[in-house]
Amino acid sequence: MAINNKFHKIVLIIIFLCNINLYAQVSPNKYVISFTDKNNNQYSVNNPNEFLSQRAIDRRIKQDINIVENDLPITSAYVDSLKNLGLTILNKSKWFNSLTIFSEDSLLLDTIENISFIKNLTKSASIHKKNSNYHKFFNQVSKVEYNSIDKKIGILDYGLSTNQIEMLNGQILHNQGYQGQKMQIAVIDAGFYHVNSLPAFDSLRINNQILGTKDFVQGDNSVYEDHSHGMSVLSILAGNIPYTFIGTAPQAKYWLLRSEDASSESLIEEENWASAAEFADSVGADVISSSLGYSTFDDASQSHTYADMDGKTTRISRAANIAASKGILVVNSAGNEGNKPWKYISAPSDADSVLCIGAVNEKGEYASFSSIGPTYDGRTKPNIVSQGENTVYQGTNGEFYEGNGTSFSTPIIAGLAACLWQAHPKANNMQIFNAIVQSSNHYNNPYNITGYGIPNFDNANLLLDYQDSGNENIISVYPNPFKDVLNFDFYSTDNNNIEIELYNILGQKISFDKHNLAFTNYNKIQINFSGLENGIYFLRVASKDKFFTKKVIKQ
């Protein structure tokens, strides 16, 4: 029996040596080993219940997504071989068919490096850990207190969070009962300090809305003693203190995942993030909210360049796109480098299928720290913006503060996106993505600093309503009554001309205009009627064989 066990170990080691590429050192004594295949795998795509939760399978079924080889776990014989060699396994990535490992055994590493079929082993000098830098993520500005002024804008009293929700018309979704129920959000961050005791999360704890935690830095499930950044982000999503502060998805359920080591910056954090995203997929999360981004590292030789920001070069951006391909809505911060030498967005926000969030102030004006686009290959980024300057969040002492950072604008969007998806459960992740972008105030004229602008979640909701019904029509006319300028939003399934006519109460046509719809789906049109007399009019919009009539009042 002992001889057979020894023989088995030798076979496993041979299999291992024939099927891996040692990719690179990603942190002191930490490396990525990539396998060439998943041969002899104990799992099959025909039996996904053995490696995916039912919720993850249902997400794929609902969005017509096939279960493929990269859904399979790594072949266990390869992993066992590594362990038998004395290497410590840190994290696994089934999407990349790779492992991150730890070893201080230079002889073992040299042996592996000298094998002919090893791709490379990049060694670099040790990096000394820095003290945790809170401002790496955002800047705390000042403490704020709720002054008991009535700020109720519907069924909820948002208190201090009123502006950051009302700016996006998020309160309309909430008023309709969409507050994140039955949705699952995975928050990937640097730690969730005292979420298990701070007051903004009382409801989460009482209602069992925290589904689980996992630390991909330390390799355990303990995240409540680590950095407070994720806690502050979570407060913007899930905080629920009526009359004081309410988050954007207070009724959603949450997975709290730590991938970021706030004390240093190295490539291994991209590997950690990929593993966290895979975990979020496997448990069935609907949305990933990630207020992290990577461009430069403590070891300059590991740093990315702007040319890498093409959405397909960095590991983390590739992982984010894979997550989206599994039906997850991935929402990520643009970064806070807008007024620094780097200035551009960072990975994974450069990925095509990642909803990249920049920042504006409380008046909707560009926040100078917010990282800008475009991507290296010329795509518009950030996709959209929300309030990231003077944003209110919960601090480590349970009090509320204003702070600056795209770390804060991101959870505002992620939470409301979950509510929007709750309202349209038959939609897929990219339909939610596109509706949010198309509802934004600069959709027809995007900018490199703010992308397509500030989204209007009421319009996004209406847009999805029309997509669901297959109609082609006006979404909204506003303001009504109007003074000089009348706006209307038009939904169309293709590019075509529309005719806009205005009639007085006698039925006389007094204005005619024609517009070419430059964008499919969602169009924002503005007409100046400053020379028109005050009174009641009828607006008629015609497209092909369809038309819409609306009474409007000029004051």
* 490-500 tens-digit pLDDT: 766 566 678 88
* Residues 479, 444 share a domain: no
Q: Are strands 384-387 and 354-360 parallel, antiparallel or unpaired?
A: parallel
Percent of the chain with pLDDT over 90: 61
* Residues 207, 102 share a domain: no
* Residues 331, 192 share a domain: yes
* 177 inside domain: yes
Q: Of 467, 484, 515, which residue is a domain's last?
A: 467
* Residues 480, 461 share a domain: no
For residue 538, is pLDDT > 90? Answer: no
**Tens digit of each residue's pLDDT (9 = 90 or more) over 184-228:** 999 999 999 999 999 999 999 999 999 999 999 999 999 999 999
For residue 315, is pLDDT > 80? Answer: yes
For residue 321, is pLDDT > 50? Answer: yes
* Residues 326, 220 share a domain: yes
- Spatial neighbors of 396 by CB under 8 A, at least 6 apart, are 193, 194, 198, 228, 231
| Confidence category of residue 95, pLDDT binned at 50, 70, 90 | very high
| Confidence category of residue 546, pLDDT binned at 50, 70, 90 | low
CA pair distance 262, 133, nearest whole angstrom: 7
Strand positions, DSSP E, 192-314: 210-215, 240-241, 245-246, 253-258, 287-290
| Confidence category of residue 66, pLDDT binned at 50, 70, 90 | very high
CA pair distance 387, 358, nearest whole angstrom: 8
* 121 inside domain: no
Q: Phi and psi of 279, rounded to 5°? A: -60, -45
Q: Structure pTM?
A: 0.83
What is the average per-residue pLDDT within 90-118? 77
- What is the three-class DSSP state of 17? helix
The count of structural domains within the chain is 3
CA pair distance 127, 105, nearest whole angstrom: 18
**Tens digit of each residue's pLDDT (9 = 90 or more) over 436-460:** 999 999 998 999 999 999 999 998 9
- Of 16-25, 91-100, 327-336, the range with the highest mean pLDDT is 327-336
Q: Which residue has the higher pLDDT, 499 or 282?
A: 282
- Of 23-27, 307-311, 460-464, the range with the highest mean pLDDT is 307-311
Q: What tokens appear for 90 in the block?
A: 């840190």
* Residues 485, 457 share a domain: no
- What is the three-class DSSP state of 266? coil
For residue 166, is pLDDT > 80? Answer: yes
- What is the three-class DSSP state of 272? helix
| Confidence category of residue 9, pLDDT binned at 50, 70, 90 | very low
Q: Of 451, 467, 483, which residue is a domain's last?
A: 467
* 122 inside domain: no
Residue 16: per-residue pLDDT: 43
* Residues 449, 355 share a domain: yes
Q: Which residue has the higher pLDDT, 146 or 509?
A: 509
Q: Which residue has the higher pLDDT, 188 or 86?
A: 188
What is the average per-residue pLDDT within 258-281? 96
Residue 115: per-residue pLDDT: 47
Q: Which residues on adjacent β-strands are paired with residue 451?
A: 447
* 120 inside domain: no
**Tens digit of each residue's pLDDT (9 = 90 or more) over 362-403:** 999 999 999 999 999 999 999 999 999 999 999 999 999 999
Range of lowest pLDDT (43-52, 142-151, 277-286): 142-151
* Residues 145, 19 share a domain: no
CA pair distance 77, 324, nearest whole angstrom: 29
Q: Which residue has the higher pLDDT, 509 or 133?
A: 509
Q: Are strands 30-35 and 485-492 parallel, antiparallel or unpaired?
A: unpaired
267, 269, 274, 275 alpha-carbon torsion, rounded to 10°: 130
* 260 inside domain: yes
Residue 86: per-residue pLDDT: 82
Domain of 496: which CATH number? 2.60.40.1930
What's the mean per-residue pLDDT of the chain?
86
Residue indicated by tokens 């967005």: 345
| Confidence category of residue 136, pLDDT binned at 50, 70, 90 | low
Residue 149: per-residue pLDDT: 44
Report the candidate in 314, 331, 333, 270 with the shortest Cα–Cα distance to residue 137. Answer: 333
What is the average per-residue pLDDT within 79-108? 87
* 131 inside domain: no
| Confidence category of residue 150, pLDDT binned at 50, 70, 90 | very low
Residue 192: per-residue pLDDT: 98
Give me the amino acid identity at 76: S
* Residues 242, 228 share a domain: yes
- Other C-beta atoms within 10 Å of 105: how many? 13
Residue 141: per-residue pLDDT: 58
* 118 inside domain: no
CA pair distance 309, 295, nearest whole angstrom: 9
Identify the domain containing residue 70 by its residue range.
Answer: 2-113
Range of lowest pLDDT (73-87, 99-113, 443-457): 99-113
* Residues 398, 281 share a domain: yes
* 129 inside domain: no
* Residues 523, 426 share a domain: no
Strand positions, DSSP E, 94-242: 98-102, 139-144, 184-189, 210-215, 240-241
* Residues 30, 82 share a domain: yes
Q: Of 432, 451, 467, which residue is a domain's last?
A: 467
Domain of 306: which CATH number? 3.40.50.200
